[in-house]
Amino acid sequence: MTTVGFIGLGIMGGPMSAHLVAAGHDVRGYDVHADAVARLVDAGGTAARDVAGAVAGADVVITMLPNHPQVEEVVLGPGGVLDSARPGTLLIDMSTIRPETSIAVAEAATAKEVRVLDAPVSGGEAGAKQATLSVMVGGEERDFADARPLLDALGKTIVHVGPHGAGQVVKAANQLLVGGIYGLVGEAIVLMEASGVDAKTGLDVLAGGLAANRILDLKRESMVARQFQPGFRIDLHHKDMGIALAAARQADVALPLTGLVAQLVAAGRAMGYGSLDHSALLKVTEQLSGRSQGSSREG
């Protein structure tokens, strides 16, 4: 049994913290929303009054927060994790944020003898509920070994991918690929439909060849039917494309396709589709080709 402080009990952190309780751990949770804390108590966890309360006495602290400003405030800010954690504590930040923030957190933590891993996940709300997340972990090998039993309660694929920040880099790579493939599939659909080809039949052929991909497998029917219930919202993918571009800037590389995909995802949000599934990137391509009026059925 490990004593775990868990900060951020939302759509992702809620079910994740409950899995840790179910696995026999002593979980002390905190969230800015009291009802989220109440749900953890219902699941068998303990309520903490604030960040310091969740951290006090914890062997491991897990943070699952929306973006880097929240991580900076909760971890680095006054009254934050590093102010309260005793030396040797292991902080596992499972938020999806920019690699440079993960690295800055690691530097600040090391100065306080707190060990830290960046461990963003993919698999979304369904993966959190079913404990089938993929977890991409950056940091020291031995800290990864210590975290492993806890992470095994949360996901299926738990991989140590490199030093501090590496987890975020792999997550960013994942999101640029996913966003880009959605964009390409959308262009294929628009081209076929506008050419008088039955898109469903055409996509079936594509899904059988070198162009095959999981998005075609899972989403081609819903995309052709213009059903865009999330799933993973465009607003979140927009945030993640910003992280991918920040990661590229940090690594001093040039990623032209990623740069364009980021703007197309931004268009999806700006056009008002932010709360639809990211497969709704198809709607941006449609609008660009003047083919969207009256033909779509949203979510």
211 Cα distance to chain centroid: 25
> Residue 244 in contact with residue 264, Cβ under 8 Å?
no
- Please state, in angstroms and rounded to a whole number, the distance separating the CA atoms of residues 44 and 212: 44
| Cβ nearer to its own copies, comparing 153 with 191 | 191
- Please state, in angstroms and rounded to a whole number, the distance separating the CA atoms of residues 290 and 21: 52
Tell me the residue length of the chain.
299
Question: Least distance (Å) from its own copies to the CB of residue 101?
Answer: 13
- Please state, in angstroms and rounded to a whole number, the distance separating the CA atoms of residues 135 and 45: 23
Amino acid letter for position 256: P
Question: Least distance (Å) from its own copies to the CB of residue 262?
Answer: 6
| Cβ nearer to its own copies, comparing 42 with 252 | 252
- Please state, in angstroms and rounded to a whole number, the distance separating the CA atoms of residues 294 and 286: 11
| Cβ nearer to its own copies, comparing 13 with 202 | 202
Query: Annotated active-site positions, please?
Result: 171
| Cβ nearer to its own copies, comparing 98 with 115 | 98
Minimal CA–CA distance to 98: which of 289, 274, 239, 219? 239
| Cβ nearer to its own copies, comparing 35 with 252 | 252
> Residue 207 in contact with residue 216, Cβ under 8 Å?
yes
| Cβ nearer to its own copies, comparing 71 with 206 | 206
Tokens of 179: 């966003």
End-to-end CA distance of the chain: 43
Question: Least distance (Å) from its own copies to the CB of residue 110?
Answer: 17
Question: Least distance (Å) from its own copies to the CB of residue 14?
Answer: 22
In the Cβ-directed half-sphere of 291, how many Cα atoms lie within 13 Å?
17
- Please state, in angstroms and rounded to a whole number, the distance separating the CA atoms of residues 223 and 137: 32
- Please state, in angstroms and rounded to a whole number, the distance separating the CA atoms of residues 72 and 115: 16
Question: Least distance (Å) from its own copies to the CB of residue 123?
Answer: 7
Question: Least distance (Å) from its own copies to the CB of residue 246?
Answer: 9
Tokens of 272: 């008002």
